[in-house]
Amino acid sequence: MSTTAVSTSPNSPTPAADQVFAFADLEIGAAAAEQWPHADVDLGDHVPSVTGYVRRITVDGRALYAKYSLLGVSLVSLLRGACGPWPQVREAQREYVLRPDALIEREAAQLRFLLDAGHPRVCPVAGVRRGVLFTERVGGASLARLLLERPAQSAGLLAGVFGQLRDLHHPPAVGRLGPAGVIGERSIAGTFRRKFNGLSGPVYVQRLGADRCVADDREEVVAVLRQVVVRLHRLRARLLPQSPRRVLAYGDLKPEHVLYPDGTDQPPVFIDPGLLLAGTAVDAAKLISRTVLTLAASRPGPETGKHLVHGLGVFAGTRMDGLSVKARRAWLRELLALWLMDSVNILTTYLSAPAELPLPALGDALVGRAVDLCRMVDRISTDLAAGGDTSAMWDGALGHAQAVAA
């Protein structure tokens, strides 16, 4: 049987989405009943995600999110059979949720750490039971929406968000969280190495888009990404510092994870942290990567794209204030390599998702733009590999990003 097949047979190499989702719903319901034994609990809509299983839930009219992680792996990996058949996964999950280092336990600990620190603002934890994390729902416009609606203000918006992380980016914060509390598996370079290393990497690339792309698009996507992955492996070894200045990075710094419930004149609220020990370029790289992907998905046109990409350039330039010329060049090359690896990581996750897994709207849109995105990454990585003037290379990268938005 193909590893992409869907079956409810106990001997199937892949769990089926309906099995996984039904199990997660039962666990969320049981966890809510334990947390609030006398409350009126109503399970709401499933929130599409390729990582954990998320549902809206109301408890006595209180609006919450319930998040459940199976074995700490993405839903894509789980449904592709990375953890074995469903009975094996279900049995392993019963033990996994009891571990103090389970992913949900670390996410809850990180939110509490940030709540105690008071900066940046994060969504409150409502409870943790049976491997389920309950968090308060946060309203307001997201950074992603504001960037598209106010592209001329993008530099200020990005700088304001990054400024909220100032305390995290100072070395003393590392000691306050402790090494056991980090989520190192969210590392950009680590994720890239895990996805594309060894014999499994080329096989993974060869299967990309099997359930998502039309034949002609898929052929080009696979061919381009095969070359890009090899190139990025070489760039990773050459450009990423072996012993970076280690600070706490927010990790999952995405425009859709930053919300403004009190308006843009008040500090935003961050959701879904993935705090990890990393170099100082990691948060900037992920924010730039995901902003460009937001542009690619929404295709707002040349004028919006021009303003927003200019804002990205100003934002990156400000991050380099005070660095020597040599340090600026090294930081910018590292930033480009991390940006490209992150974009490849997320795009390939969406492309490898089985058809039965609902994608978020962003994921659906990016699959539809996969050819254009692969060409962008190919051109930028080719320039980066060739060396040359760093400023010209950076300007070229922003030009390619702007073209994807048009």
Sign of the Cα pseudo-torsion (171, 173, 179, 181, in order): negative
Q: What is the C-alpha to C-alpha distance for residues 37 and 32, in angstroms, rounded to an integer?
A: 8
- At residue 279 the predicted structure's pLDDT band, cuts being 50, 70 and 90, is confident
Q: Where are the alpha helices (DSSP H) in 73-199?
A: 75-79, 86-96, 103-117, 143-149, 154-163, 172-177, 188-196
Percent pLDDT > 90 in the chain is: 88
| pTM reported for the whole predicted model | 0.94
Residue boundaries of the structural domains of the chain = 17-136, 141-405
Per-residue pLDDT, 243: 66
**Token pair for residue 360?**
């978020």
> Could you give the CA distance from residue 283 to residue 273 in angstroms, rounded to a whole number?
12
Distance CA 381, CA 397 (A): 9
141-405 is classed in which CATH architecture? Alpha-Beta Complex (3.90)
Instruction: Using pLDDT thresholds of 50, 70 and 90, give the confidence band for residue 355.
Output: very high
Residue 300 pLDDT more than 50?
A: yes
| Residue-wise pLDDT tens digits, 110-164 | 999 999 999 999 999 999 999 999 999 999 999 999 999 999 999 999 999 999 9
**What is each CA distance from 297 to 49, 72, 368, 372, in whole angstroms?**
16, 28, 8, 11
Tokens 């509390």: give the residue: 181
- What is the CATH topology of the domain spanning 17-136? Phosphorylase Kinase; domain 1 (3.30.200)
Give the pLDDT score at 92: 98
Element (H, E) at 384: helix 370-386
Copy the structure tokens of residue 372: 């254009």
Bond before 179 cis per omega within 30 degrees: no
Cα(369)–Cα(4) distance, rounded to whole angstroms? 23
- β-pairing, 121-122 with 269-270? parallel
pLDDT higher than 90, residue 235: yes
User: What is the per-residue pLDDT for 191?
Assistant: 95
CA angle 311–275–255, rounded 5-degree value: 30
- Note the pLDDT tens digit of each residue in 62-100: 999 999 999 999 999 999 999 999 999 999 999 999 999
